[in-house]
Amino acid sequence: MIEPLLPLLTLSGIAVFALSGALLAMQLNQTFVTASFFALLTGVGGGTIRDVMLDAPVFWLNDPLVAPVILLAALVAWVTPVRWWEGQLLEWADAAGLAAFSTLGAGKALAYGVEPVPAMILGVVTGCAGGMLRDMVAGVPSIMMRPDLYVTPSALAAVTAATLMLCGVDETLSLLAGSVVGFGLRGAALIWNLKLPAYSRTSKPDA
Amino acid sequence: MIEPLLPLLTLSGIAVFALSGALLAMQLNQTFVTASFFALLTGVGGGTIRDVMLDAPVFWLNDPLVAPVILLAALVAWVTPVRWWEGQLLEWADAAGLAAFSTLGAGKALAYGVEPVPAMILGVVTGCAGGMLRDMVAGVPSIMMRPDLYVTPSALAAVTAATLMLCGVDETLSLLAGSVVGFGLRGAALIWNLKLPAYSRTSKPDA
Amino acid sequence: MIEPLLPLLTLSGIAVFALSGALLAMQLNQTFVTASFFALLTGVGGGTIRDVMLDAPVFWLNDPLVAPVILLAALVAWVTPVRWWEGQLLEWADAAGLAAFSTLGAGKALAYGVEPVPAMILGVVTGCAGGMLRDMVAGVPSIMMRPDLYVTPSALAAVTAATLMLCGVDETLSLLAGSVVGFGLRGAALIWNLKLPAYSRTSKPDA
């Protein structure tokens, strides 16, 4: 039943990621053209790296909608009042995109015959690489390095979806389950400010 | 009539980009080997990303000239007096390379059957990604984030060339027209210090 | 006689690179998930870029061992006392990985029909890109920019191996010779703190 909605959900996820890229560029007082480039990098960066590694056609090059939707997202970010985006709305939408892309990435990798563990890793790459590229070009601390849970929900989503699929569960159901648990964990991290324990050098004698 | 000159023009553009990479490494007091690596990254980075995304053979791997020309450019940067490169000469040459690569990238993407908007975007990627990679590895602020017009001339070149081609204009003429307007805008930005309006949060009530 | 050992040697090199990635993430007080991601980026980053550029299947996606070995390396880094890794042991292991990957990368490129100079460059990319990616995401100064010899031993290894192969020397012997000279130069740099002359702007009149 979710099948026909997939392209729409993917486009929504891309739009949300694009929005976050454009908003970062605007926070850094950039021009509209740069904001659009950031929107693109964030919106399709992860999926592009996934497709190139799978030797699959890069998904947005032959799609008449993805690139225009990204430019539209950049425009929306540019012309709307900043305070629209200052609450947690965007973080929740980003959580949904992160969970969806991580499961979709793992599913696509399995469909291309990739081994289980690398397929799960490709899911994480699909979910997180766009944000990583955005932060690297912007010169801000990488989303990978921030203390709140971000990669972990992505990994949970990818591992859940891939494991279910490998156990023979229906693909749509597996993707849905992975997205729900990934979104749930990221949401919990947003609400309760969850963190994984960071490494501290307690074992170092002179610390 | 420009057709037979294309390979020569491409090589010149690569040499200029390579020179800018080597000079940045030298400004940062690096060794010759690192300067050569920066020359390579800047000279072929954009075209490499384009070719990988198009699933085309990476253009410089089977070309006997490109890599040696890049190493030669690094050598020229290393042995010549710095003041040769301190005026605006290099920026003007870079402007020519930017305009040419942006149009060539868009044209190659269209030839590979990419949709119009993504093809224009690939043109911008071809023109700008080498400089972006150079700045990311060097740890200096990205060329994307500097206030002067850089991505915009690249986008103008790519959009002009792709639009003309899609309207049935002769390919060589389209590439030429795109390069001229892109070079013109980048040149105007250099002369009159043109900038696009940057985002300022005037809509934020408490700003 | 070395032939059957090659997969084992490659796995060891990947494990060492992965370890260096995980240890950097731990120094930056990251979580285990982020440390694993750094291990992955460092362990397979260079070979992934090489394979994508050669349009070869990305080597670790269809390998059941590489990804688990990387996660295991991250786990080992996490649970063992930090002081195990504080001496020069890791740097020597990294030197071995750098030399081996640089020669293997050049050899694979030649096997894919790449021109000599680009093949040597791809060897350097294979050896160095993982560490570059690790440093870019971490936001620490790039390994490319540090004063000690790192890219140069990689280049020496790749050039030696490729030159011997092109002269008709047996492939295994060529790879071995390249690895030995590369490891030797990197080791000499570690022992005697060797540096290439960095660029100084003595030719600038007002310096």
Contact C123, C102 (CB under 8 A): yes
Give B-chain residues touching A37 at CB under 8 angstroms: 124, 128, 144, 151
Smallest Cβ distance to C33: which of A53, A155, A204?
Answer: A155
Give A-chain residues touching C138 at CB under 8 angstroms: 142, 145
Question: Per residue in B150-201, pLDDT tens?
Answer: 899 999 999 999 999 999 999 989 999 999 999 999 999 999 888 777 777 6
pLDDT above 80: residue A206: no
DSSP per-residue codes, A92-142: HHHHHHHHHHHHHHHHHHHHTT--HHHHHHHHHHHHHHHHHHHHHHHTSPP
The runs of H, that is alpha helices, within chain A are 6-27, 32-54, 66-79, 89-111, 116-138, 151-166, 171-192
Residues of chain C with confidence (pLDDT) below 50:
1, 203-207
SS3 B142: coil
Query: Is B201 within the bounds of a domain?
Result: no
C148: DSSP letter: S
Q: Is the dihedral of CA C44, C139, A55, A93 positive or negative?
A: positive
Among A24, A58, A61, A85, the residue to mutate for chain B (most B Cβ within 10 A): A61
Query: Is C16 within the bounds of a domain?
Result: yes
Among A34, A52, A133, the residue to mutate for chain B (most B Cβ within 10 A): A34
Query: Is C25 within the bounds of a domain?
Result: yes
Smallest Cβ distance to C203: which of B64, B82, B137?
Answer: B82
The pair of three-digit structure tokens given for residue C118, joined into one six-digit string = 């680009």
Contact A38, A24 (CB under 8 A): yes
**Helix or strand (DSSP H, E) at B112:** none
Closest chain C C-alpha to A81 CA, distance in angstroms = 32
Q: Structural domain tally of chain B?
A: 1
Q: Which of A23, A16, A72 lies closest to A44, judged by CA?
A: A16
Q: State residue C204's pLDDT score.
A: 44
Range of the domain at B91: 3-192
Query: Is B103 within the bounds of a domain?
Result: yes
Using pLDDT thresholds of 50, 70 and 90, give the confidence band for residue B5: low
Distance CA B44, CA B131 (A): 10
Smallest Cβ distance to A203: which of C60, C81, C136?
Answer: C81
pLDDT above 80: residue A147: no
Q: State residue A143's pLDDT score.
A: 81
Give B-chain residues touching C199 at CB under 8 angstroms: 25-26, 29-32, 35, 78
Q: How many CB atoms lie within 10 A of CB C56?
A: 15
Smallest Cβ distance to A34: which of B114, B119, B145?
Answer: B145
Q: Which residues are CB-contacts of A29 (< 8 A; sequence separation ≥ 6)?
A: B198, B199, B200
Helices then strands, counting H and E runs in chain B, come out as 7, 0
Give C-chain residues touching A54 at CB under 8 angstroms: 58, 61
Q: Is the dihedral of CA C154, C155, C159, C160 positive or negative?
A: negative
**∠C179-C180-C181 over CA atoms, to 5°?**
95
Distance CA C109, CA C98 (A): 16
Using pLDDT thresholds of 50, 70 and 90, give the confidence band for residue B203: very low
Query: Is B200 within the bounds of a domain?
Result: no
Contact C186, C141 (CB under 8 A): no
Q: Which residues of A10-44 are buried (b: 16+ CB within 10 A; e: fewer)?
A: bbbbbbbbbbbbbbbbbebebbbbbbbbbbbbbbb
pLDDT above 80: residue B120: yes
Q: Which residues are CB-contacts of A139 (< 8 A; sequence separation ≥ 6)?
A: B141, B142, B145
Distance CA A26, CA A34 (A): 9
Strand boundaries in B35-148, DSSP class E: none
Contact C51, C58 (CB under 8 A): yes
Give C-chain residues touching B64 at CB under 8 angstroms: 115, 117
Average pLDDT of the residues of chain B: 88
Query: Is B113 within the bounds of a domain?
Result: yes
Q: State residue A204's pLDDT score.
A: 44
Contact A149, A191 (CB under 8 A): no
**C43-to-A89, B161, C39, C178, C205 alpha-carbon distances in Å:** 37, 41, 6, 20, 45
Query: Is C206 within the bounds of a domain?
Result: no
A34 with B141: Cβ contact below 8 A: no
Instruction: Indicate the angle between helix axes C32-54 and B32-54, nearest 10 degrees.
Output: 80
The pair of three-digit structure tokens given for residue B189, joined into one six-digit string = 């930005």
Could you tell me the end-to-end alpha-carbon distance of chain C, in angstroms, rounded to an integer? Answer: 57
Question: Please, which chains are in contact with A (at least 3 CB pairs closer than 8 A)?
Answer: B, C
Question: Per residue in C14-48, pLDDT tens?
Answer: 999 999 899 988 888 888 988 999 999 999 999 99
Smallest Cβ distance to A52: which of C32, C52, C139?
Answer: C52
Query: Is B202 within the bounds of a domain?
Result: no
Q: State residue A47's pLDDT score.
A: 95
Distance CA A56, CA B164 (A): 30
Residue written as token pair 């294979």 = C126
Distance CA B21, CA A203 (A): 43
Distance CA A154, CA A185 (A): 9
Identify the residue with better confidence: B47 or B2. B47
Please compute the mean of the pLDDT values over residues A191-196 and round it to a whole number: 83
Question: Please, which chains are in contact with B (at least 3 CB pairs closer than 8 A)?
Answer: A, C
The pair of three-digit structure tokens given for residue B99, joined into one six-digit string = 């305009």
